[in-house]
Amino acid sequence: MRSMAQPPTTDLELVAVLRALADPVRLELVRRLAAGGEVSCSPDDLDVPRSTLSNHWRVLREAGLTHTRAEGKARYMTLRHNDLQTRFPGLLETILTSATPPS
């Protein structure tokens, strides 16, 4: 198992985080991570091409929102909730609560 490069907590930038979350697909990916922990790189019920998903995961990782670990060819993502809370207290919860579609 190996981890992919990601910025340290102290280097997380608000603009990069907000830019990453501005895309509806990436916001949905983060919402799923927040609700369910670790996910694979290709969620079954998301109608997005694999190459596009790969790009979305890269943007989220480079912005510091996710941690990616590799096992062979498989990639598994987790939300860097504690790091984001440390750097930007309350930001992630506020965005996820505000962006949740009404039931």
User: What is the tally of structural domains in the chain?
Assistant: 1
pLDDT in tens, 27-57: 999 999 998 888 887 776 788 888 899 999 9
- How long a stretch of residues is the chain? 103
Residue span of the structural domain in which 43 resides = 2-99
Residues 6 or more apart in contact with residue 20 via CB below 8 angstroms: 26, 59, 60, 62, 63, 65
* CATH number (domain holding residue 44): 1.10.10.10
Say how many CA atoms lie within 13 Å of 17 toward its Cβ: 22
- Look at residue 2 in the predicted model and tell me its pLDDT: 63
Alpha-carbon distance of 92 to 77, in angstroms, equals 17
Largest Cα–Cα distance of the chain, in whole Å?
Answer: 39
Please state the pTM of the whole predicted model: 0.88
pLDDT in tens, 43-102: 767 888 888 999 999 999 999 999 998 888 888 999 999 999 999 999 999 999 987 665
Q: Where are the beta strands (DSSP E) in the chain?
A: 2-3, 39-40, 66-71, 74-79
